[in-house]
Amino acid sequence: MDKSIIRAKTLVEALPYIQMFNNKIIVIKYGGSAMIDAELKMSVIKDISLMKLVGIKPVVVHGGGKKISEMLVKIGKEPKFIQGLRVTDDETMEIAEMVLSGNVNKEIVQLFEKQGIKSVGISGKDGRSIIAKKKLLDGLDIGWVGEIDTIQTELITALIENDFIPVIAPIACDENNNTYNINADYVAGAIAAKLGAEKLIYLTDVEGVLRDVKDKTSLISKIKVDEIQRYKDDKIIQGGMIPKVDCCAESIKNGVAGVHILDGRVEHSILLELFTNSGIGTMLMP
């Protein structure tokens, strides 16, 4: 019984947090380990399900690079990367789309539906939600790697209003009917900005921004957009973290109230960040 009362108290303690985000759109970039480990997967799905039930409007954007590479290997094709970007010829693009739109995307939907939560899996092609253009790598054409030209939220908004969680694969087309693979981080950022989301959450495989990359206790909890440059100068934000932080900064400039870089390897990291005082990642804010 005492345990039950503690439970009830816990629920009640979540009250102000629930209130704060009521009716707000929160975009979650779902990727990394949290998309592979079965237990973490369920933990993320449950966190987002709870968000939905307490009146938040979640939108999920997912990646799936690892699965694409596995499938390429299966058909006897070696994945190739230049500066971290996948070299994407026609066949690779076809496989990438099948894996993202036809496998990863639908699996997430299926997990939500299993929880009794209504969701719909789409890609940027559906409702022409994302129009892309070719992205060059320092002038080099590496195939069907795209960058975002335009976001059209008509379909996403219709799904939200009809009470579905939109689950979005980062695939888009251009005016000439070409298909592109786009970095899911950018897609999440652009959609959050266009929807006027309250928050954008990146599930990553790092703790957040660390003052000393070797010291996991050196997490920086809050960074203001105008402090970013100083952190870069001090080499605190460096390497792979730079594009992610830039993408966060961009979203904030476009009106998202806060962007969270969370450690997706921690169970219930989203709830911990949103619904308790124990913020566990790094929050970027205006």
Return binding residues: 64-65, 86, 181
The contact mask relative to its own copies for 132-151 (x = CB under 8 A, - = no) is --------------------
Q: What is the CA radius of gyration of the chain?
A: 19
- Report in angstroms the alpha-carbon separations of 203 from 17, 92, 159: 20, 26, 23
Binding residue ranges for substrate: 64-65, 86, 181
Helix (H, G, I), strand (E, B) or coil at 209: coil
Nearer to its own copies among residue 172 and residue 249 (C-beta): 172
Nearer to its own copies among residue 93 and residue 249 (C-beta): 93
Kindly identify the residues of this chain, within the stretch 164-223, that bind its own copies according to CB under 8 A. Answer: 164, 171, 173, 177, 179
Among 29, 30, 40, 47, binds its own copies (CB under 8 A): 47
| CB distance 131 to 149 below 8 Å | yes
Among 26, 27, 99, 209, binds its own copies (CB under 8 A): 99
Listed residue (101, 31, 85, 86) closest to 77, CA to CA: 86
Q: How far is the CB of 179 from its own copies (least distance, A)?
A: 7
Query: What residues contact 179, with CB distance under 8 A and at least 6 apart?
Result: 93, 97, 125, 144, 171, 172, 173
Among 203, 241, 262, 280, binds its own copies (CB under 8 A): 280
> Is 102 an interacting residue with respect to its own copies (CB under 8 A)?
yes
Kindly identify the residues of this chain, within the stretch 236-275, that bind its own copies according to CB under 8 A. Answer: 266-268, 271-272, 275
- Report in angstroms the alpha-carbon separations of 131 from 5, 141, 243, 257, 271: 51, 19, 21, 25, 33
Kindly identify the residues of this chain, within the stretch 104-133, that bind its own copies according to CB under 8 A. Answer: 105-106, 109-110, 113-116, 118-123, 125-128
User: What is the bridge-based pairing of β-strands 282-285 and 258-263?
Assistant: antiparallel
